[in-house]
Structure 1
Amino acid sequence: MRRRLLVAVVGVLLVGGCGSIPTSGPVTRVADDKGFGESTVRYAPALPVPGASPQEIVLGYLDAMLAFPVSTGTASAFLTPSAAKGWRPLDGVRVYSRPKVSAPVADRSTDVDGDDAGDRVVVRMSSSQIARLDQQGRYTRMRGDSDLTYGLQQVDGEWRIATPQAGLLVSSKYFNDYFRPFNIFMFDNPGRRLIPVPVYLAVGDQLATSLVASLARGPAVDDDVTRTYVPKLESLRTSVPISDGVADVEFDEEFRTESESTQDHLSAQIIWTLRQVPEIEGVRLSGGATVLTRNGLPVQPIDSWGAFGPSTSGTHVYGISDDKVVQIDEDRIAPLTGDWGKDARGAVRVAVSDSGVAGVLQGRSQVRVTNRAGSAPRVYGGSQFVTPRWDRDGVLWLVDRVGGSTRVRLVRDDVITALPIGSLAGLNVTTFSLSPGGSRYAVTADGGVYVGMIQRSDDNQILRLTDPQPLAVDAATPTSAVWASDTQLAYLSGSKISRQVHYIRIDSSAGDSDVGGGALLPDVGADVLALGAGDPQTRYATDTKDRVWYLPPDGTWHVVKSAEVTGLTYGR
Structure 2
Amino acid sequence: MRWVAVALTAVLVSGCAGIPSSGPVQRVADDRGKPQSTVRYAPVGPARGASPQQIVRGYLDAMLAYPVSTGTAAAYLTPEAADTWKSANGVTVYAEPRVSLARSTLSDGDEQTSVVELRSTTVERLDRQGRTVRAGQDEPRSYILAKVRGQWRITNPQAGVMVTRSYYTDYFRAFPIYFFDAPGQRLVPEVVHLAVGDQLPTGLVTSLALGTSSGTLRTYVPRASALQSSVSVNDQGIADVQFSNSLARLAEDQRNHLAAQIVWTLRAVPGLAGVRIFGDDAILRAGDDRVQSIGAWGEFGPLAVDRHTYAVVGNRLVEVDGGTLKRVSGPWGTDALEAVDVAVSGAAIAAVLPGRSRVRITDRDGKSPRSHDGEGLIAPRWDEDGQLWLVDRPDGVTRVRLVPSGDKARAVPAGRLSGLTVRSFDVSPDGGRVALEADRRGSTALYVCDVLRDGKNRVTGLGAPQLVDTGVPAPHSVSWASTTRLVFLGSTEAGVQVHEAAIDGTDVEGGATGGGPLLPDVRATHLVADAGADGSAWVTDSRKRLWYLAPGRSWRLLDDRAFSGLTSGD
After TM superposition, the score normalised by the length of structure 2 is: 0.91
Q: Which residue of 2 aligns with 1:429?
A: 422
Q: Which residue of 1 aligns with 2:118?
A: 125
Letter in structure 1 aligned against 2:263? I
Question: Whole-Å Cα distance in 2 between the matches of residues 457 and 238 of structure 1?
Answer: 36
Change (3 A) 1:28 1:445: closer
Report the secondary structure of 1:403's partner residue: helix
Instruction: Encode CA deviations 1:514-563: one digit per residue, 9 max, x unaligned.
Output: 46643111222211101243333321111223221111221222233485
Q: Which residue of 1 aligns with 2:502?
A: 505
Report the secondary structure of 2:35's partner residue: coil
Q: Which residue of 2 aligns with 1:303?
A: 295
2:145 is aligned with 1:155 = no
Change (3 A) 1:507 1:146: farther
Task: Report 1:450-529 matches (<5 A).
Answer: 450-511=447-508, 514=511, 517-529=515-527
Q: Is the 8 A contact 1:333 1:562 kept in 2?
A: no
- Give 1:325's match in structure 2, choosing from 317, 332, 357: 317
Q: Which residue of 1 aligns with 2:276?
A: 284
Question: Whole-Å Cα distance in 1 between the matches of residues 29 and 312 of structure 2?
Answer: 48
Kindly state the Cα deviation for residue 350 of structure 1 after the two structures are TM-superposed: 0.8
Q: Unaligned 5+ residue runs, structure 2?
A: 1-7
2:63 is aligned with 1:65 = yes
Question: Whole-Å Cα distance in 1 between the matches of residues 192 and 64 of structure 2?
Answer: 20
Q: Which residue of 2 aligns with 1:238?
A: 229
Q: Which residue of 1 aligns with 2:351?
A: 359
Q: Which residue of 1 aligns with 2:5?
A: none
Q: Which residue of 2 aligns with 1:537?
A: 535
- Give 1:261's match in structure 2, choosing from 250, 253, 257: 253
Q: Is the 8 A contact 2:547 2:559 kept in 1?
A: no
Letter in structure 1 aligned against 2:244? D
Q: Which residue of 1 aligns with 2:569?
A: 571
Q: Percentage identity across aligned positions?
A: 45
Question: Whole-Å Cα distance in 1 between the matches of residues 231 and 313 of structure 2?
Answer: 55
Letter in structure 2 aligned against 1:425? S
Q: Which residue of 1 aligns with 2:433?
A: 440
Change (3 A) 1:117 1:270: farther
Question: Whole-Å Cα distance in 1 between the matches of residues 287 and 314 of structure 2?
Answer: 53
Kindly state the Cα deviation for residue 320 of structure 1 after the two structures are TM-superposed: 0.9
Question: Whole-Å Cα distance in 1 between the matches of residues 105 and 362 of structure 2?
Answer: 76
Q: Is the 8 A contact 1:349 1:361 kept in 2?
A: yes
Q: Which residue of 1 aligns with 2:35?
A: 37
Letter in structure 1 aligned against 2:462? L
Q: Unaligned 5+ residue runs, structure 1?
A: 1-9
Kindly state the Cα deviation for residue 143 of structure 1 after the two structures are TM-superposed: 7.3
Letter in structure 2 aligned against 1:215? L
Kindly state the Cα deviation for residue 117 of structure 1 after the two structures are TM-superposed: 7.7
Q: Which residue of 1 aligns with 2:180?
A: 187
Letter in structure 2 aligned against 1:127? S
2:263 is aligned with 1:271 = yes
Q: Is the 8 A contact 1:27 1:42 kept in 2?
A: no
2:170 is aligned with 1:170 = no
Report the secondary structure of 2:375's partner residue: coil
After TM superposition, the score normalised by the length of structure 1 is: 0.91
Question: Whole-Å Cα distance in 2 between the matches of residues 275 and 62 of structure 1?
Answer: 33
Q: Which residue of 2 aligns with 1:368?
A: 360
Kindly state the Cα deviation for residue 11 of structure 1 after the two structures are TM-superposed: 7.1
Question: Whole-Å Cα distance in 2 between the matches of residues 107 and 540 of structure 1?
Answer: 67
Question: Whole-Å Cα distance in 2 between the matches of residues 357 and 27 of structure 1?
Answer: 58
Task: Report 1:369-448 matches (<5 A).
Answer: 369-412=361-404, 413-446=406-439, 447-448=444-445
Report the secondary structure of 2:417's partner residue: helix
Instruction: Encode CA deviations 1:404-442: one digit per residue, 9 max, x unaligned.
Output: 121111122323222222221121111111111111111
Change (3 A) 1:15 1:82: closer
- Give 2:88's match in structure 1, choosing from 83, 87, 90: 90
Q: Is the 8 A contact 1:253 1:288 kept in 2?
A: yes
Kindly state the Cα deviation for residue 149 of structure 1 after the two structures are TM-superposed: 1.5
2:197 is aligned with 1:204 = yes
Report the secondary structure of 1:38's partner residue: strand
Question: Whole-Å Cα distance in 1 between the matches of residues 125 and 110 of structure 2?
Answer: 33
